[in-house]
Amino acid sequence: MAKRIEASNVSSYYGSFKAIDSVSMAVEPKTITALIGPSGCGKSTFLRSINRMHEVLPNARIEGRLTIDDQNIYDPDVDVTAVRRMIGMVFQRPNPFPTMSIYENAVAGLKLNGVKKKAVLDEAAEKSLRSANLWDEVKDRLDRPGAGLSGGQQQRLCIARTIAVEPQVVLMDEPCSALDPISTLAIEDLMFKLKDRFTIIIVTHNMQQAARVSDKTGFFSIDKTGDPGRLIEYDDTQKIFSNPTQKKTEDYITGRFG
Amino acid sequence: MSLLEREAAGVAMTPDNIRTKQLPLVVNLGVALAAIVLSAVIVLGTGVGNWVLVAVVAVVFYLVGLYFAASRVEGRRAAKNRTMQSLIYTACILAILPLASVVWTLVSKGVERLDGTFFGSSMNNISARDPGGGAYHAIVGTLEQVGIAALIAVPLGVLGAIYLVEYGRGRFAGTVRFFVDVMTGIPSIVAGLFILSFWVLIVSPWFNDGNPRFSGFAASLALTVLMLPTIVRSTEEMLRLVPGPLREGSYALGVPQWKTILKVVLPTALPGIVTGVMLAIARAAGETAPVLLVAGGAAAINFDPFAGNQQSLALFVYQQAGDASRYAPARAWTAALTLVALVLVLTIAAKLLARRNKLSR
């Protein structure tokens, strides 16, 4: 199921502004990769480039090659929706659909892509909500609005929604930044569980989190405001946090950035 | 001494007592009473006006008196707060007064002819001396004309707004938006003249052996011209309020853009869109000029909106109000009441329908 992602010389632009410059990295299947770095260094932009979400913004474009199991997702004849179905995404701020119930939110991806059988949807809802550690909390109120849950629950609902369509890759853009430590822990536990089935790439500002959950870590940085972000170092998490090759990486993870 | 204490007069960062004195309610009422008495004495004493002027002057006296009383007891900031608060209440009452007055006038004058004959018969063969007659033909006309206009304008308007918000980029979208803005300002008589010269005089002869013909449908087209810009602009604003992350959340599930719009964006914006549509319908239902120009008005019932003259409620009010019969004004009032009630019922129904889809909160 899980797929290998390889980026070679990926540069992303917002209009004429170059947000990231020539990023190359390979992400192996069934691993967790963490992207760390200061604000504005292009981690999120890179993440959004992986499932072609970058181009949703006006005037945004990308150069370079991004392959998923050796298929370039930026070939002109690629079906964007197929790519996004294959590469799911969890956003920084929980964004459950406000007009849908918890149940409808969980199976939104299936329903909106044409699954109609109630039995199939019911099973998928329970399975994905269980995977997201949310089932026990919401099983008695599945018909209540998804927006009525707490922030942490909403975020887990969004994760359930994402994994319900069974993507091969799950991208997470600072999924825990608005959550309390208990919800954060629940989501980290969840990532370990999901690792058996998915390839996970997570952007985080929390270095402990990167160290705890990830197999590999990529460090992004910029020289100064207005410059494009670059991938400074990409290696095993163990190596990055104990013995980084680059001085910049060491400065950042030891808190001497700046 | 803190910066705030040094620079802002009267601010104590560590006051000995954090309680303040409150203006007693008795004083407040006393000021009000004094204002009324004083105003009555001045206005009625000099004989310059009646009780309306007394009320207006009393409000002014009350606001001034309240400010001084409150600034004595509570201090300037609290006094300003009280005065502004009273001012806002006054403005609110002033805004509601005309509405209440309209409703009261309509009900009190319209109740005279609020009977079965009014809703069950037309003005066919009713002469100036006949007390009966009704607005059945006008109600039928209004419902058909506005209904057809809504059937055309709502899909076009909503689709146009979706184009402008979700797809429109560059010069073409800008041009469309500009012309929608221009259309908002079109006077209804101009819309009527446009349909008269285009539809009634040029197109309708093709369907009627070469003779131009009035019809309710022509009125619908004129009303469509008036409704479109309102619907496009209000829907556009509502769609823009839908947060971008919701769309992205849907795209990230592999949902195509059209389905995202249909299943996520539109339901989220639905209550607002319904409000905009109802505003447009209410405006169209009250239009007189275009109906007069292209449907002509009629005294008899005409169920067919595509052939022959048709009446509408607004036009009925206009004609009856100017009619030489002594029974006509009562008909006009009742028709006006009916029109307002019709729009009210439609609006409430639409709001309920829009809410039914939403989850209970």
Q: Is the pLDDT of residue B42 over 80?
A: yes
Number of Cβ pairs < 8 A linking chain A and chain B: 80
Identify whether B71 is part of a domain.
Answer: yes
Identify whether A127 is part of a domain.
Answer: yes
As a whole number, mean pLDDT of residues B273-287 equals 92
How many domains are there within chain A? 1
Phi, psi of B29 (to 5 degrees): -65, -40
Taking contacts as CB-CB distances below 8 angstroms, the residues of chain A near B270 are: 99
Least confident stretch, A128-137, A158-167, B2-11, B61-70 = B2-11
Say what the pLDDT of residue B170 is. 82
The better pLDDT of the pair A207, B88 is held by: B88
Q: Is the pLDDT of residue B357 over 60?
A: no
Identify whether A114 is part of a domain.
Answer: yes
Identify whether A75 is part of a domain.
Answer: yes
- Number of DSSP helices (H) and strands (E) in chain B, helices first: 15, 0
Residue A56 contacts B where some CB pair is shorter than 8 Å: yes
> Radius of gyration over alpha carbons of chain B, in Å?
29
pLDDT band at A218 (very low <50, low <70, confident <90, very high): very high
pLDDT in tens, B193-252: 999 999 999 999 998 888 899 999 999 999 999 999 999 999 999 999 999 999 999 999
CB-based contact A53 B248, cutoff 8 Å: yes
Say what the pLDDT of residue A258 is. 46
Identify whether A17 is part of a domain.
Answer: yes
How many domains are there within chain B? 2
| C-alpha distance across the termini of chain B, in Å | 50
Identify whether A258 is part of a domain.
Answer: no
Taking contacts as CB-CB distances below 8 angstroms, the residues of chain A near B246 are: 95, 97-98
Taking contacts as CB-CB distances below 8 angstroms, the residues of chain A near B267 are: 99
Q: What mean pLDDT value characterizes chain B?
A: 90
The better pLDDT of the pair B270, A2 is held by: B270
Residue B260 contacts A where some CB pair is shorter than 8 Å: yes
CATH number of the domain to which B242 belongs: 1.10.3720.10
Taking contacts as CB-CB distances below 8 angstroms, the residues of chain A near B357 are: 99
Q: Are B104 and B124 within one domain?
A: no
CB-based contact B249 A113, cutoff 8 Å: no
CB-based contact A161 B253, cutoff 8 Å: yes
CB-based contact A145 B246, cutoff 8 Å: no
Identify whether B353 is part of a domain.
Answer: yes
Residue A226 contacts B where some CB pair is shorter than 8 Å: no
Q: Are B54 and B81 within one domain?
A: yes
Least confident stretch, A152-161, B5-14, B54-63, B279-288 = B5-14
CB-based contact B359 A101, cutoff 8 Å: yes
ipTM over 0.85: yes
Q: How much of chain B is in helix, strand and coil states, percent to nearest 5? A: 75, 0, 25
Q: Are B341 and B252 within one domain?
A: yes
Q: Which among A13, A32, A155 is positioned nearest to A91, based on CA atoms? A: A155
Residue B165 tokens, joined: 């918000």
Q: What mean pLDDT value characterizes chain A?
A: 89
Q: Is the pLDDT of residue B9 over 80?
A: no
Q: Half-sphere exposure (CA, 13 Å, Cβ side) for A8?
A: 7
pLDDT band at B361 (very low <50, low <70, confident <90, very high): very low
Say what the pLDDT of residue B12 is. 73
Residue B169 contacts A where some CB pair is shorter than 8 Å: yes
A69: domain range? 5-253
Say what the pLDDT of residue A40 is. 83
Say what the pLDDT of residue B107 is. 94
B256: domain range? 118-357
Residue A107 contacts B where some CB pair is shorter than 8 Å: no
Identify whether B3 is part of a domain.
Answer: no
CATH number of the domain to which A38 belongs: 3.40.50.300
As a whole number, mean pLDDT of residues B102-109 equals 94
